[in-house]
Amino acid sequence: MKGPNGLGKPVRRVVIAGGGTAGWMAAACIAKVLGKRLDIKLVESDEIGTVGVGEATIPTLLNFHHLLEINEQEFMAETKATFKLGISFENWRNVNEDYIHSFGLTGTDHWTAGFQHFWHKGRERGLAGDYGDYCLELRAAQENKFAHLPQNGRNFGMNYAYHLDASAYARYLRRFSERFGVERVEGKIVDVTASALTGHIRSITLDSGVDIEGDLFIDCTGFRGLLIGQALGVEYEDWSEWLFNDSAAALQTASVGDAIPLTRSIAHPFGWQWRIPLQHRVGNGIVFSSRYVAEDEAIQALLGNVEGEALMKPRVIKFTPGQRKQVWKGNVVAVGLSSGFLEPIESTSIHLIQRSIIRLMQMFPTNGIAQTDIDEFNRQAAMEVEHIRDFIILHYKVNNRIDAPYWMDARNMAVPKSLQHRIDLFRETGRVFRIPNELFAENSWIQVMLGQGIMPLRHHQTADLMGDEELSHFLGGIKGQVDRTVAGLPPHQAYVERYCAAP
Ligand code: FAD
């Protein structure tokens, strides 16, 4: 029912269904930013538990923590976190061929042509090293080093993210949220009551018989999508024609050496395997397509390729790659796995959680829910995830592997036009343009396109204006600065130990 302002009723009672990473991130942010005006309850079920994975992040998480005024040392100590400078892609382009997609810039910003054009000219003239030689984060990762480097008085001189213990992170955010007034309710949601008139959800019922009423519901129930899918019937768009993986097996092992500041992503003939080094253990898992391999075989491949003693039995997780057709419907906003999931490569899911929460803050329906806000929210969410989808498909589409049908089929598949255009443009001209508001910047696209095996045919004419001596001086200057900085960095493991010892 609409009020005199054309809106629904004011929102005072927020109910968050589910307490995984999504639920507690939502609770923490809403409570910190708007807590004084709202009554916030979070319902979770210890019996059901969380998906228990999602331990690699990207640098945008620092912005989220900045907003929450989280103390980094305390957060890292409590979540047993390490620093992450990028992802090592092993056997992806071809068996025994590796590359790193790192955070940060490669080379310098140039106003007419990107650094890749100068590097490309340098390669042709025999004056340039590997593309990664000009990236501080990549070189530091290769040397297993890390430090916070000051830039403009802030600690963002080196672009980094974290590897973190997902369960410890949820616990950490729970304590944070409770300090800001969030009430946690333990129990299993067994029923949902909606208004026959508006279709809005009125309350959820727990197995204890307790009803919890709300004005706005945030569905963080994971793959179940209890409110958005089961109660409101919002359909799911299936993207498995481009993203073949639909299963994973996760396994935690004891650490056997120093934690490296890289997520390792090791390709197999039917998928890929992750290794995420934390302070106290290593997170491992294998992501695969059930169309190409039997579950047992995938698990054996995982077990045969971990270091350190297994701390649990492998846990299988099934998923459908894709996205809800609407992530906000009526008075339900889906955040996290309930809204969709592509696959773990490139660690974008926690980022998307954070983006949904920030977007909700920007459009928070304090004075009532407006359909225009819902439409805009859904439009932005769809666009954002489609860009990420294209970037992820790129990793599969462009490969030179001839050893397995999985990789050959990926190479031969038709991809979205938006992606095909970017691949063609880069191959022919070396040009890449970031679409406004898309997550991955030019340097990410370039690193992955080069890494997966596309070498542009040409470079921008600006690079030709430089003679060999000038170009050599230009490239050498950048490389020299990167090398000197890396030489002065401490080992990553020692830095983490020192940093987390004194929160
Ligand atoms: P969940 O963790 O599943 O939480 C759901 C919550 O809802 C739980 O608290 C549960 O108890 C509750 N719940 C469900 N049903 C009920 C009910 N009936 N009653 C009461 N409570 C209920 N993301 C990254 O960013 N980086 C990664 O490296 C990464 N790796 C991944 C690897 C795999 C194999 C998978 C599958 C995902 C990965 N993700 C990753 C995604 C990431 O795990 C999720 O985005 C993140 O954990 C958030 O999950 P969630 O909170 O939406 O769901």
Sign of CA dihedral 151, 156, 159, 162: positive
Ligand 1 neighbour 22 (Cβ under 6 A): yes
In angstroms, how far is the first alpha carbon of the chain from the final one?
Answer: 51
Query: Is the shortest distance between the CB of 285 and ligand 1 below 6 Å?
Result: yes
Angle at 486 between CA 76 and CA 438, to 5 degrees: 60
Tokens describing residue 135: 């990236």
Mean pLDDT to the nearest integer, 132-156 = 85
- Residues 116, 466: contact at Cβ < 8 Å? no
User: Does 20 contact ligand 1 (Cβ within 6 A)?
Assistant: yes
Q: What is the pLDDT of residue 154?
A: 44
* Cα 22 to ligand 1 centroid, rounded to whole Å: 7
Specify the DSSP class assigned to residue 182: P
3-state secondary structure of 17: strand
Closest ligand 1 atom to the C-alpha of 248?
34
Mean pLDDT of the chain: 95
Ligand 1 atom with the shortest distance to the CA of 53: 43
% of the chain exceeding 70 in pLDDT: 97
Q: Is the CB of 226 under 6 A from ligand 1?
A: yes
For ligand 1, atom 12, which residue shows the shortest CA distance?
A: 18
pLDDT of residue 112: 80
Q: Please indicate whether residue 315, judged by its CB atom, sits closer than 6 Å to ligand 1.
A: no
Q: What is the DSSP string of 293-317?
A: S-HHHHHHHHHTT--S-BSS--EEE
- Residue 263 CA: nearest ligand 1 atom is 28
Per-residue CA distances from 415 to 221, 241, 391, 449 (Å) = 31, 9, 11, 15
Report d(CA 151, CA 154) in Å as an integer: 5
Q: Alpha-carbon distance 449 to 440, whole Å?
A: 13
- Report, as an integer, the average pLDDT of 445-450: 98
What are 272's strand-pairing partners? 267, 287
Which entry of 41, 80, 84, 329 is annotated as an active-site residue? 84
- Whether 324 shows a pLDDT value over 90: the answer reads yes
What integer pLDDT is reported at residue 183 of this predicted model?
98
pLDDT exceeds cutoff 80 at 83 = yes
pLDDT in tens, 462-484: 999 999 999 999 999 999 999 99
pLDDT classification of 2: cutoffs 50, 70, 90:
low
- Tell me how far the alpha carbon of residue 168 is from its chain's centroid: 18
442: CA distance to ligand 1 center in Å? 30
Q: How confident is the model at residue 430 (pLDDT cuts 50, 70, 90)?
A: very high
The tokens describing 490, both together, are 């401490």
- 259 touches ligand 1 (CB under 6 Å): no
Centre of ligand 1 to C-alpha 39, Å, is 24
- Nearest ligand 1 atom to alpha carbon 22: 51
The SS3 assignment for 126 reads coil
DSSP run (H or E) holding 94: strand 86-94
Task: For residue 56, give the nearest of 176, 143, 164 by alpha carbon.
Answer: 164
Q: How far apart are CA 327 and CA 341, in angstroms?
A: 12
Q: Is 84 a catalytic residue?
A: yes
Between the CA of 20 and the centroid of ligand 1 the distance, in Å, is: 5
Sheet hosting strand 282-288, strand order edge to edge? 97-102, 86-94, 263-268, 271-277, 282-288, 247-253, 315-318
Distance CA 272, CA 289 (A): 10
Ligand 1 contact, 206 CB (< 6 A): no
pLDDT, one tens digit per residue, over 151-203 is 654 445 899 999 999 999 999 999 999 999 999 999 999 999 999 989 999 99
User: Tens digit of pLDDT for each residue in 23-68?
Assistant: 999 999 999 999 989 999 999 999 999 999 999 999 999 999 999 9
ipTM: 0.99
Angle between helices 166-179 and 21-34 (to 10 degrees): 20
Contacts of 335 by beta carbon, 8 Å cutoff, 6+ apart:
22, 23, 25, 26, 218, 219, 220, 327, 353, 356, 357, 360
pLDDT for 8: 74
- List, in order of start, the domains of the chain with CATH numbers: 13-55+165-240+321-369 (3.50.50.60), 247-318 (no CATH)
pLDDT, tens digit, for every residue of 343-364?
999 999 999 999 999 999 999 9
With b for 16 or more beta-carbon neighbours within 10 A and e for fewer, the 356-377 pattern comes to bbbbbeebbbeebbbeebbeeb
